[in-house]
Amino acid sequence: QVNLVESGGGLVQPGGSLRLSCAGYGPSTSRHTMGWFRQAPGKEREAVALISRNSDRPLYLDSVKGRFTISRDTAKNTMYLQMNALKPEDTAVYYCTTGTPILSNRFNPQAYNIWGQGTQVTVSF
């Protein structure tokens, strides 16, 4: 299986936008659930947005609802995270992943088996 590769991170001012990309979601890589996690210094890795392999009804962390949008482009084997109205508390390393979690564990990073290397997002003046 190929590795997932994130890109699109960087430094933005509060209120700005970024679009993260994750390449490598081919038929041999994708699992039941795909999504984005993030980890800030000194904090646990947390689920940001999740989407089913066979559904377009995503789930979002409460603090990013209305600001972030997860999507996929099957033809390009790529998943995206559009981030708008960014806040300093969004600063973290963002990781893409895929796995087959049970319902109660779908927000737990331990439920996922394949990860990208991470891309840094910094929101600051």
Q: Cα(81)–Cα(35) distance, rounded to whole angstroms?
A: 9
Q: Is residue 97 a contact partner of residue 37, using CB atoms and an 8 Å limit?
A: yes
pLDDT digits (tens, 9 = 90+) for 57-114: 899 999 999 999 999 888 899 999 999 999 999 999 999 999 888 888 999 999 998 9
With H, G, I as helix, E, B as strand and everything else as coil, classify residue 110. Answer: helix
Q: Which of 19, 10, 14 is nearest to 89 (CA)?
A: 14
> What is residue 26's predicted lDDT score, i.e. its pLDDT?
80
pLDDT digits (tens, 9 = 90+) for 5-50: 999 999 999 999 999 999 988 877 778 899 999 999 999 999 999 9
